[in-house]
A = this chain, B = another copy of it.
């Protein structure tokens, strides 16, 4: 998987892994990697600015948490975040259909009349 393959789909990934409950940054990276079968390895320089942006536009809310003595910033979906996640899912579906139908046409090339 090439490095910046997630370009344009990052927001959806972040919202999706937060759907089942709040997570902090490091756990988000692990969740994405886990759910993608190890194929998607996000970096901190990728997700932290993205999480800040998503919070700023109201799709996430965050709160500091203490695990033992260690501080963690936990992010969770807002209502707007859930609605946007639904939008991202339809956009993804539309996107894959569009690219897919060009890449693998239903009518195989060479069989046209």
Contact = CB atoms under 8 A, between A and B. Distances in A.
Given A20-B110, A109-B20, A37 B101 contact: yes
A54 interface: no
Given A5-B8, A89-B103, A98 B16 contact: no
Contacts of A55: none
B92 A100 contact: yes
Contact of A99 (B9, B94, B110): B9
Given A16-B102, A36-B98, 12 more contacts: A1-B94, A1-B95, A1-B98, A7-B8, A12-B103, A13-B103, A32-B102, A36-B101, A40-B102, A88-B103, A92-B100, A96-B100
